[in-house]
Structure formats: C-alpha cells, structure tokens
Amino acid sequence: MQIAFHIGANCTDEDRLLKSVLKNADTFLQQGTAVPGPGKYRKLIREAIEMLAEGAPTADARDVLLDAIVEDDEIKRLVLSNDNFITIPKRIFDHSVFYHQAEKKVRGLHALFPNDDITLFLGMRHPASFLQDTATRAGVQSLAHYLGVLSPVEVLWSDVIRRIKLAAPNTPLYVWCNEDTPLIWEELIRLLAGVSVDTPITGQYDVLSNIISPEGMQGFLARIVDTDPADIDARQTLIAEVLEEHALPDLVEDSISLPQLDETVVATITDAYEADLDVIAAMEGVELILPFD
C-alpha cells in the first residue's frame, strides 16, 4: 500500500493542507485513497514509535495499526498528516540540532510499515519567521536558550532533509517553501492524494482566499474559469497577479519581533535560505516543488 505522510514542519500550514485534502475525501476514496481524520492515527502512531524503544514491533503491528486507522481493506493509498510528527515546537532544537529526532521518527515509521510504499512530504519556511513562530509557540523568550550553540544563520533545512534521507534513502521526499503555498496549493493536494489533474477537486484556493481581499478573490474566480485546468503555469501566473494586486499586507508579511533577529541578521538568514534551497534542489531523492518550475 502507498502511504503518503505529510510530516510538518511545525508552524507552516497549521493543518490547512490536511483540511483541504479532507474536503475531497469522498472523491479520493472512490479512487482508492483514504484520508482518515487525524484523531484516528496521530496519537496511535506516536505511541507505536515510542514503544519501538522497547524492541521491534510484533509481526501483526502493521495490520493492527491499519485496522484502527481505516475501515476499508481495499484502499491503495493512505494519506496522513501531522505537523508535530517529528517533534513539538519546544523540542525542535534539542541538543542544539535542528530536528534532532528526525531520523528516529522516520526510521520508526518505516519499522511500523516495513513493506509499504512510503512517501514523505515536508513544508519548509524562511528560518527567521520559523524561529519567531516556533519560539513563541514554545514559550521561549531567548533564541540563545532555544538554539543552544546554534546561531540563527545555521538553521538550515538541508541539514534536516539530509538526515531524513540518511534514515530512509529510498523514500521519496517532496519539499516546498511555505511562502509559495498560495501558488502551488492545488499541486500539493494532488501530490499528497496521488490524483491526476483530471480529478475534480475543491479547496485548491483555500490559502489564496485567506490572504487576499474579497474583491480580489471574486475577480480571480471570474478569471480562472477561462484557464485550462492542465495549464499549471497559467494558473500560477494568474494567482501571482492577484496576489500582487489584492494581497492583505498583514497576512502576507511576517512580523519579526525577537530582538536577536534584527534586520541585518534576517538579511543574512535570507541569503543563507536562498542558497540552501539550491542545495536541496540538487539532492538525490528529493523533489523541491517550486512555482513556475
């Protein structure tokens, strides 16, 4: 069976991707793809991985888990999502390592589903705004305390991705920038669900509708009907134009208030982030989803 697991990151889409996919659960089920509610598996899988510290899973562990998660024995693909899968915000930088538990969690997932076809999905985010929001969520006032010996400029997504690939070298990994999600939301829904462009879906403009004015959204919907659904570039171009004209500044511009992240530091982090994306794009077994690509 195919298992598509959206594993985070923390403080990126805040379950919006799962909610958009769930809007299409009935349609996807007709194609053999199950999208269970998160209450059916998040705690279950977390506890199962924690129990692996006591020894290898039992021979029937996989079937027991699946019976608890899905009711249909005929499904071909299972869609899971948990932005806290790797860890909670407070523990992101344990031992001064960015997502210290990444390898453990990915290996644990494969131990529970050893013969299934797993694909991982990971949303990234500009490290400065990521640090701002995760530190706030963790209740941490000092970045020095949060990061340990790491500096903000050393927070590199390529480090996390490299270690995930070391833990699961043959597992496909799709990654994207949270900043790009209004442009690529439909592609993310389809990739996670494993459906083609011919499958009608809803929710593909959920992100866009939340960050532009109602007038802008109304105009966009009036124009998008004349666009070929298969023409991804044309759709993304139209979305980019609408964002340029109708985006709500308070919702598209990150507010950085931590004193350790002044303008000079943020500029340096931005340069490092852009260079890091080039590193990620060149990684074997990693697909960086970019607009207009």
Secondary structure class of 5 (helix, strand, coil): strand
**Alpha carbon distance 112, 165 (integer Å):** 18
Q: Per this entry, what is the length of the chain?
A: 293
Domains located in the chain, CATH noted: 2-212+247-289 (3.40.50)
Residue 103 confidence (pLDDT)? 97
The DSSP code for 178 is: G
Residue 19 in contact with residue 6, Cβ under 8 Å?
no
Mean pLDDT computed over every residue of the chain: 96
pTM score, two decimals? 0.96
The tokens for 207 are 């992100």
Beta strands in 1-58 (DSSP E): 2-6, 33-34
What does the buried/exposed string (b/e) look like for 49-88 if buried means 16 or more CB atoms within 10 Å of the residue's CB? beebeeeebeeebbeebbeebbeeeebebbbbbbbebbbe
The DSSP code for 77 is: E
Give pLDDT tens digits for 216-272. 999 999 999 999 999 999 999 999 999 999 999 988 888 899 999 999 999 999 999
Beta strands in the chain (DSSP E): 2-6, 33-34, 77-81, 117-124, 173-177, 286-289
Residue 35 in contact with residue 22, Cβ under 8 Å?
yes
List helix spans (H) across 37-101: 42-51, 61-69
**Alpha carbon distance 222, 276 (integer Å):** 38
Give pLDDT tens digits for 98-140. 999 999 999 999 999 999 999 999 999 999 999 999 999 999 9
Residue 72 confidence (pLDDT)? 83
Q: Is pLDDT of 154 > 90?
A: yes
Residue 17 in contact with residue 82, Cβ under 8 Å?
no
Mean pLDDT computed over 59-86: 94
Give pLDDT tens digits for 173-225. 999 999 999 999 999 999 999 999 999 999 999 999 999 999 999 999 999 99
**Alpha carbon distance 61, 112 (integer Å):** 7
